[in-house]
């Protein structure tokens, strides 16, 4: 005899067929992952070196793929950029980040969150309005959120980037120039952009205790950034000697595995109260 299919089972069957799991890592699978909210965030703390306090977190996107496990952002962000999905990804990431900012209020209302944006996002004239509307909906002041753009992205079409950055700054967002030092920007261009923070690229930070060149670059970039009234963050700190070196170089904040790996949102409170 044939067992009758219950309504719930039928719904499950139908939904599996409507959304088959895709084994490939391609734009269809990514579009599906975005729609099903399979893109989530990990958060890496930013440590202020003057008093060794955690002052914020960088939101880093993760794709939990049914067949491949965690797909790293170095793979799927370029895919999103090529396939026109980046603005949807950015919007979802930003929404999750804004909700996290609000949830941090109970721990410390001064904590901020940084979100990475792509140069393609900046080409969208409505980006600033959309992000500001999300902040309004979530009850978050834009000055709690820092938007990070790589130096390479900012400098590839500087006048266009500048226009987009100014719109974001006018909404109250803070702006950070990421992966600084590998893009050979001119000082003249950098000072025209409304950044308030500069992040020294991991490659210089990693080598600053072993290479005189990297050490000189960390020192010179820090001095230059301070002259332009930019706060300096070093990323990719992997041991105690590097941290000591950065303190001596006058760097303001640091991130890296030696301080903490990126963590799930549930584990943020443990880090802040440590």
Residues that bind Ca ion (CB under 5 A): 116, 148, 178-179, 235
Tokens representing 199 are 């992040």
The Cα–Cα gap between 154 and 114 comes to: 17
The Cα–Cα gap between 28 and 211 comes to: 44
Q: Out of 54, 56, 179, 195, name the contact with ligand C2E by CB under 6 A.
A: 179
Closest approach of Ca ion to the CB of residue 226, in Å = 19
Would you count residue 257 as binding ligand C2E (CB under 6 A)?
yes
Closest approach of ligand C2E to the CB of residue 223, in Å = 22
The Cα–Cα gap between 266 and 109 comes to: 17
Instruction: Restricting to residues 88-107, name those near ligand C2E by CB under 6 A.
Output: 93
The Cα–Cα gap between 76 and 40 comes to: 13
Would you count residue 30 as binding ligand C2E (CB under 6 A)?
no
Would you count residue 38 as binding ligand C2E (CB under 6 A)?
no
Cβ pair 152, 180 in contact under 8 A: no
**Toward ligand C2E, which CB reaches closer, 11 or 260?**
260
The Cα–Cα gap between 39 and 104 comes to: 21
Residue 253 touches which of Ca ion, ligand C2E, none (Cβ within 5-8 Å per kind): none
Would you count residue 118 as binding ligand C2E (CB under 6 A)?
yes
In this structure, the number of other CB atoms found within 10 A of the CB of residue 37 comes to: 9
Helix (H) or strand (E) holding 44: strand 39-48
Closest approach of ligand C2E to the CB of residue 206, in Å = 7
**Toward ligand C2E, which CB reaches closer, 16 or 70?**
70
The Cα–Cα gap between 237 and 91 comes to: 29
Q: Out of 33, 34, 44, 135, name the contact with ligand C2E by CB under 6 A.
A: 44
The window from 155-163, 169-177, 209-217, 255-263 that contacts ligand C2E (CB under 6 A) reads 255-263
């Amino acid at each position: 005899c044939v067992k009758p299919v219950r309504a719930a089972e039928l719904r499950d069957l139908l939904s599996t067929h409507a959304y088959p799991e895709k084994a490939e890592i391609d734009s269809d699978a990514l579009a599906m992952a975005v729609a099903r909210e399979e893109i989530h965030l990990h958060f890496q703390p930013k440590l202020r070196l003057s008093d060794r306090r955690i002052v914020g977190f960088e939101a880093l996107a993760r794709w939990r793929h049914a067949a491949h496990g965690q797909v790293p952002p170095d793979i799927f962000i370029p895919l999103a950029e090529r396939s026109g999905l980046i603005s949807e990804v950015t919007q979802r990431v930003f929404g999750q980040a804004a909700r996290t900012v609000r949830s941090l209020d109970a721990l410390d209302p001064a904590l901020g969150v940084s979100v990475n944006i792509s140069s393609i996002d900046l080409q969208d004239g409505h980006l600033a309005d959309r992000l500001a509307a999300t902040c309004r909906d979530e009850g978050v002041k834009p000055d709690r959120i820092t938007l990070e753009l790589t130096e390479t992205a900012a400098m590839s079409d500087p006048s266009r980037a500048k226009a987009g950055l100014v719109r974001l700054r006018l909404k109250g967002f803070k702006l950070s120039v990421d992966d600084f030092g590998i893009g050979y920007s001119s000082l003249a261009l950098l000072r025209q952009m409304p950044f308030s923070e500069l992040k020294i690229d991991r490659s210089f930070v990693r080598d600053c205790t072993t290479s005189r060149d990297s050490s000189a670059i960390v020192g010179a970039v820090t001095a230059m950034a301070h002259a332009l009234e930019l706060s300096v963050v070093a990323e990719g700190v992997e041991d105690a000697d590097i941290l000591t070196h950065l303190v001596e170089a006058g760097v303001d904040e640091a991130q890296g595995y030696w301080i903490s790996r990126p963590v799930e949102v549930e584990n943020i409170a443990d880090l802040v109260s440590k």
